[in-house]
């Protein structure tokens, strides 16, 4: 779940489908500045107040690791998924103490563990800056000039907002370029681990159960936010619901969906289906085989590579489901019909402008397609799959980009993103050279296979050596394993183009080509954004709809009801229990990944086995929503999003409530487990009371 790419899919006219379905479906990832008040009132008899919405907004949190979370006590306690916090938990693990595998419990605040490279953001303010951004782009500008002008004004807006408020300030593109909103966040970087269950409990059922239902996962963990060495005091946090959910209850999800592709056009849909996703899956299958082979060699390898393997497996299964959705004829036919419906209502001038905009998108796609593979290899770094190369590239570009005016820099090197960049670069988190060498050797081999041994860039990078020899040379000789050295190089202000470090030298070798391909794709994205802006305007003129933009890893509000569904003629109930978890393990003979920790086997007699463990709803979610709080009408916490079922993967392109479901950990299970299994009554009390137990 760690941040995320520009997927191109779906069709503009999905908005028509949204409108047609709204009377029966709880659809939408809604902006907090434009919530669906009338729809909620008409269907559910509930109309949120501004105060209710503000409380949800300022209690919700975004994890920089790629997921969501929330404050759950006035003393800075943060709740999210185990798999969202897994990177931090893994970095705190040692050979002697594997917290990722065995779990962790800080009995006192003094035992809470400081995290490396973990950032949490809480949204404070949203401002529409569309007019200011668009004013910088003149009608006679080329796409390249328009991109430069837009980048400059966005950087200026972000810098001014950051300087005046002290908040992290990001301009987010909405409606594929039709709107631009400034999001301002309170940033927390001093975080400590408070509690994490065993991996067996957080990911019970493993890959076989991933994206399936029924599920029995205790996928949660707890951190605490600090400032100046003391727990933060927050006014907005979610109160623990005294009464849990039951079937047909209305629930709300306040989280950060990563990326959807519902408002894009049919040509982009075909591009993803026939090219981009297929290539991505081929790469993921290769990485899965590599990581799986590595972790099976020893317990030490397992500790080093298990989290990476989980991430690859999760992505592979998700993208596989998305691709299958695109090959569903019904998905395509819906898009085609909706486009026809829209155009049938448009006047001749609107039809002409729509056709011109669509042609612009098709032309941009053609150029993107011919450059995207080299962009992936050199700019995204699929040819150099190691964290050490990422450090090298960041150091090299920092030494160059920070000499430029803020508005002329690459997006990730602007002043607004500097704190996050430094947090990652200076982190002393453990990186495992043996595993990094294996990953790098495989990616260099992939580099050779795809481009051929005689390609000039291949010859330059490989220096006449085999992938394994070259990878060993680069990993063993680089000095970038040392966080203090990275910090020193960064702060020196010196240009590093002549650096003697082998990986910085490698990054310099490919930097000009990488920048070239990046510029090509950024210009094509500008062309598409301008075309989409015209299409969105036509849509609004024709349909006059109040709808929502595609997900952008910014805070959204979704809602739905706790509800089961029909599968193969059978009713799938909406809630599972601890009792069902034990039975699920028995049904699989207690074999991995359906084995239970010894602690849980011993505690069975003490548990209330009928306690709900997981539940499902038809709330509209996608990747990035992991860790999102699930609330009742009173804004009280009843659950924690941790997954969707296999049918939910199509939600990237089109909403359906037939069998697609979001999966949540029930808050009743969290409290019961803390008290009856882990002996962590003090944490359970803090959750239910909202403050540190005395």
Residue 6: pLDDT over 50:
no
Q: Sorting pLDDT into bands at 50, 70 and 90, what band is 20?
A: very low
Q: What is the mean pLDDT of residues 24-50?
A: 94
In the block, residue with structure tokens 């799938």: 572
Q: Compute CA distances 254 → 158, 522, 549, 635, whole Å.
A: 25, 31, 16, 10
The predicted structure's pLDDT at residue 4 = 28
Nearest Cα residue to 527 out of 681, 335, 416, 364: 364
Interval 208-264: pLDDT, tens:
999 999 999 999 999 999 999 999 999 999 999 999 999 999 999 999 999 999 988
Cβ 153 vs Cβ 454: under 8 Å: no
Q: Report d(CA 620, CA 648) in Å as an integer.
A: 9
Residue 2 has pLDDT above 70, yes or no: no
Predicted local confidence at residue 650, as pLDDT: 87
Query: Of 384, 606, 660, 348, nearest to 510 (Cα)?
Result: 384
Beta carbons within 8 Å of 473's beta carbon, 6+ residues apart: 465, 502
Q: How far is residue 564's CA from residue 244's CA, in Å, rounded to a whole number?
A: 17
11 vs 45, residue with greater confidence: 45
CA 567 – CA 375 distance, rounded (Å): 42
* Per-residue model confidence (pLDDT) at position 482: 96
DSSP annotation of 549 reads P
Could you give the CA distance from residue 391 to residue 402 in angstroms, rounded to a whole number?
16
How far, in whole angstroms, is CA 321 from its chain's centroid? 17
Going by their DSSP bridges, the two strands 565-567 and 556-561 should be labelled as: unpaired
Spatial neighbors of 230 by CB under 8 A, at least 6 apart, are none
Question: Which tokens sit at 531?
Answer: 């075309």
Spans of all domains in the chain: 14-119+189-259+553-689, 346-543
SS3 241: coil
pLDDT of residue 386: 98
3-state secondary structure of 400: helix
Q: What is the pLDDT of residue 583?
A: 98
d(C-alpha 415, C-alpha 402), whole Å: 9
Q: How far apart are the C-alpha atoms of 303 and 313, rounded to whole Å?
A: 16
Q: What's the mean pLDDT when you consider all of the chain? A: 94
> Residue 19: is its pLDDT beyond 60?
no
Residue 331, pLDDT score: 81
Q: What is the pLDDT of residues 59-106, one digit of tens each?
A: 999 999 899 999 999 999 999 999 999 999 999 998 899 999 999 999
pLDDT classification of 565: cutoffs 50, 70, 90: very high
The answer to whether residue 11 scores a pLDDT higher than 70 is: no
145, 146, 532, 533 from 526: Cα distances, Å: 10, 7, 10, 11
pLDDT confidence bin for 9, thresholds 50/70/90:
very low
- Picking from 233, 104, 71, 29, the residue whose alpha carbon sits closest to that of residue 680 is 104
260 touches 622 (CB < 8 A): yes
Rounded Cα gap, residues 513 and 457, in angstroms: 9
Q: What is the DSSP letter of 242?
A: S
Residue 341: pLDDT over 70? yes
Q: At what angle do helices 483-492 and 418-426 cross, to 10 degrees?
A: 140
Cβ count near 317 (within 10 Å): 18
Question: How remote is the C-alpha of 336 from its chain's centroid?
Answer: 29
E strand or H helix at 101: helix 99-102
Give the span between the Cα atoms of 97 and 360, in whole angstroms: 56
pLDDT of residue 656: 87
Residue 452: phi, psi to the nearest 5? 90, 150
| C-alpha distances in Å from residue 272, one per residue of 279, 326, 623 | 9, 8, 18
Q: What are phi and psi of 225, to 5 degrees?
A: -90, 135
pTM: 0.93
Percent of the chain exceeding pLDDT 70 equals 97
Q: Do 626 and 62 touch, CB atoms closer than 8 A?
A: no
Overall average pLDDT of the 394-408 stretch: 97
The position carrying tokens 């039951």 is: 246
Q: Is the four-CA dihedral 98, 99, 104, 106 of positive or negative sign?
A: positive
pLDDT number for residue 693: 82
Q: Are 416 and 159 contacting, i.e. CB atoms less than 8 angstroms apart?
A: yes
Say which range, 617-631, 647-661, 680-694, has the weakest mean pLDDT: 647-661
The first and second tokens of residue 264, run together, are 């894009």
Which SS3 state, helix, strand or coil, does residue 271 take? helix
For tokens 């623990």, what's the residue?
Answer: 240
Residue 139: burial class (beta carbons within 10 Å; 0-12, 13-18, 19+): exposed
Residue 5: pLDDT over 60: no
pLDDT of residue 273: 95
pLDDT value of residue 15: 35
For the cut 90, the answer to whether the pLDDT of residue 694 exceeds it is no
At 79, phi and psi to the nearest 5? -110, 135
Q: What is the pLDDT of residue 328?
A: 87
Which residues lie below 8 Å from residue 593, measured CB to CB, with a gap of 6+?
200, 203, 204, 205, 206, 207, 208, 209
- 409, 456, 659, 555: which is closest to 33 by C-alpha? 555
3-state secondary structure of 124: strand
Q: What's the pLDDT tens digit per position in 496-525?
A: 999 999 999 999 999 999 999 999 999 999
Residue 556, pLDDT score: 98
CA distances to 55, 230, 665, 690 from 685, in Å: 22, 20, 18, 8
Report d(CA 38, CA 45) in Å as an integer.
Answer: 9
pLDDT number for residue 165: 97
Nearest-angstrom CA–CA distance, 561 and 581: 23
User: Element (H or E) spanning 570, and its range?
Assistant: strand 570-572
Q: What is the topology classification, in CATH, of domain 14-119+189-259+553-689?
A: Thrombin, subunit H (2.40.10)
Question: For the packed helices 82-92 and 299-326, what is the interaxial angle rounded to 10 degrees?
Answer: 150
Burial 216-237 (b: 16+ CB within 10 A, else e): bbbbbbbbbbbeeeebbebeeb
CB 643 within 8 A of CB 663: yes
For residue 18, pLDDT over 70 is answered with no
Residue 24 pLDDT > 60: no
DSSP 613-644: EEEEE-----TT-TT-EEE-TTS-EEEEEEEE
| Burial state string for 484-494 with b = 16 or more CB within 10 A and e = fewer than 16 | eebbebbeeee
3-state secondary structure of 274: helix
Q: Which of 547, 630, 666, 633 is nearest to 60 (CA)?
A: 630
pLDDT at residue 671, rounded to an integer? 98
Q: Is 635 or 16 the better-scoring residue by pLDDT?
A: 635
Minimum mean pLDDT range among 34-48, 278-292, 537-551: 537-551
pLDDT digits 0-9 by tens, 104-154: 999 999 999 999 899 999 999 999 999 999 999 999 999 999 999 999 999
């Amino acid at each position: 779940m760690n941040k995320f790419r520009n997927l191109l899919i779906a069709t503009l006219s999905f908005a028509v489908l949204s409108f047609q379905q709204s009377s029966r479906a709880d659809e939408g990832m809604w902006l907090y500045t434009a919530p669906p008040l009338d729809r909620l009132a008409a269907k559910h008899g509930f109309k949120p107040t501004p105060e209710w919405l503000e409380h949800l907004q300022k209690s919700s949190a975004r994890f920089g690791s790629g997921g969501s979370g929330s404050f759950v006590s006035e003393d800075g306690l943060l709740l999210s998924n185990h798999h969202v916090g897994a990177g931090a938990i893994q970095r705190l693990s040692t050979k002697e103490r594997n917290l990722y595998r065995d779990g962790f419990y800080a009995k006192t605040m003094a035992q809470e563990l400081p995290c490396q490279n973990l950032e949490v953001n809480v949204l404070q303010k949203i401002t529409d800056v569309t007019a200011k951004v668009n004013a910088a782009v003149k009608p006679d500008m080329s796409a390249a000039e328009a991109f430069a002008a837009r980048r400059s004004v966005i950087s200026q807006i972000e810098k001014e907002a950051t300087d005046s408020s002290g908040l992290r300030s990001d301009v987010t593109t909405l409606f594929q370029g039709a709107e631009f909103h400034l999001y301002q966040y309170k940033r927390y970087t001093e975080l400590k681990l408070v509690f994490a269950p065993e991996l067996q409990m957080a990911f019970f059922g493993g890959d076989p159960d991933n994206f399936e239902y029924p599920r029995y996962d205790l996928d949660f963990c707890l951190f605490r936010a600090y400032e100046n060495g003391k727990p933060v005091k927050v006014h907005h946090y979610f109160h623990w619901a005294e009464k849990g959910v039951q079937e047909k209850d209305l629930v709300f999800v306040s989280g950060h969906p990563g990326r959807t592709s519902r408002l894009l056009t049919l040509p982009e849909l075909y591009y993803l289906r026939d090219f981009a996703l297929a290539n991505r899956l081929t790469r993921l299958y290769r990485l899965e085989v590599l990581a799986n082979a590595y972790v099976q060699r020893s317990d030490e390898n397992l500790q080093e590579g298990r989290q990476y393997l989980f991430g690859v497996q999760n992505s592979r299964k998700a993208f596989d489901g998305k691709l299958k959705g695109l090959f569903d004829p019904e998905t395509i036919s819906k898009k085609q019909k909706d486009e026809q419906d829209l155009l049938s209502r448009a006047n001749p001038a609107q039809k002409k402008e729509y056709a011109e905009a669509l042609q612009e998108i098709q032309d941009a796609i053609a150029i993107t397609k011919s450059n995207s593979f080299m962009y992936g290899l050199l700019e995204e770094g699929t040819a150099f799959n190691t964290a050490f190369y990422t450090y090298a590239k960041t150091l090299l570009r920092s030494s160059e980009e920070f000499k430029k005016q803020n508005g002329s820099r690459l997006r990730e090197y602007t002043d607004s993103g500097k704190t996050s960049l430094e947090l990652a670069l200076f982190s002393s988190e453990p990186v495992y050279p043996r595993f990094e060498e294996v990953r790098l050797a495989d990616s260099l081999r992939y580099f050779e296979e795809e481009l051929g041994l005689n390609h000039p860039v291949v010859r330059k990078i490989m220096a006449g050596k085999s992938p394994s020899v070259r990878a060993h040379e680069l990993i063993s000789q680089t000095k970038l394993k040392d966080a203090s050295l990275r910090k020193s190089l960064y702060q020196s202000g010196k240009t590093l183009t002549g650096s003697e470090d082998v990986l910085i030298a490698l990054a310099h070798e490919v930097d000009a080509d990488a920048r070239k391909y990046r510029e090509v794709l950024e210009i094509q994205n500008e062309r598409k954004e301008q075309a989409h802006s015209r299409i969105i305007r036509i849509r609004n003129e024709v349909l006059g709809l109040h709808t929502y933009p595609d997900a952008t890893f910014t805070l959204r509000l979704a809602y739905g009801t706790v509800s089961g569904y029909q599968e193969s003629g059978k009713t799938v109930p909406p809630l599972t229990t601890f009792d069902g978890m034990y039975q699920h393990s028995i049904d699989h003979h207690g074999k991995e990944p359906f084995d239970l920790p010894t602690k849980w086997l011993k505690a069975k007699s003490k548990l209330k086995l009928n306690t709900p463990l997981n539940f499902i709803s038809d709330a509209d979610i996608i990747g990035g929503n992991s860790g999102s709080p699930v609330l009742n009408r009173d804004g009280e916490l009843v659950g924690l999003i941790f997954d969707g079922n296999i049918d939910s993967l199509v939600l990237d392109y089109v909403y359906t409530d037939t069998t697609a479901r979001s999966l949540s950990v029930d808050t009743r299970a969290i409290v019961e487990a803390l008290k009856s299994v882990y002996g962590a009554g003090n944490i359970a009390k803090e959750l239910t009371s909202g403050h540190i137990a005395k």
